[in-house]
Amino acid sequence: MSADGVPGFSKPYLDAWLKRTAKALAGSGKLSELALILAREGEVDPADWRSRLQRILAREEEPCFELLMRVDSVLAKPTKQEKGGSQPADLFG
């Protein structure tokens, strides 16, 4: 429960997550790529995921804990370039 008594995340934690995630998805195509990855895991299509992620980043919707953790795990995966590859790295390797 947050400090104001509303179920969800504490404001400082959510603010930090939103800032970090927005920075990670700022590059061209990264938000769409994340939406494709999330769509492969379930029954929601990429366009719906993209819209939802945009609403979350705009603070129009609060993410559930599971989505927050899933996004973090996808963003934390090393790219091909970080693994020593010579090709330009894709966002999610």
Q: What is the dihedral of CA 82, 56, 19, 32, to 10 degrees?
A: 30
Q: How many domains does the chain have?
A: 1
Domain residue limits at 51: 11-76
Q: What is the pLDDT of residue 91?
A: 57
If one counts every other C-beta atom within 10 angstroms of the C-beta of residue 39, the result is 16
Does residue 29 sit within a domain?
Answer: yes
What gap in Å lies between CA 42 and CA 19, rounded to an integer? 26
Does residue 84 sit within a domain?
Answer: no
pTM over 0.75: no
Does residue 1 sit within a domain?
Answer: no
Does residue 43 sit within a domain?
Answer: yes
Does residue 91 sit within a domain?
Answer: no
What gap in Å lies between CA 28 and CA 44, rounded to an integer? 22
Does residue 81 sit within a domain?
Answer: no
Does residue 89 sit within a domain?
Answer: no
pLDDT tens by residue, 26-62: 999 999 999 999 999 888 999 999 999 999 999 999 9
Q: Which residues contact 2 (CB under 8 A, 6 or more apart)?
A: 8, 9, 10, 11
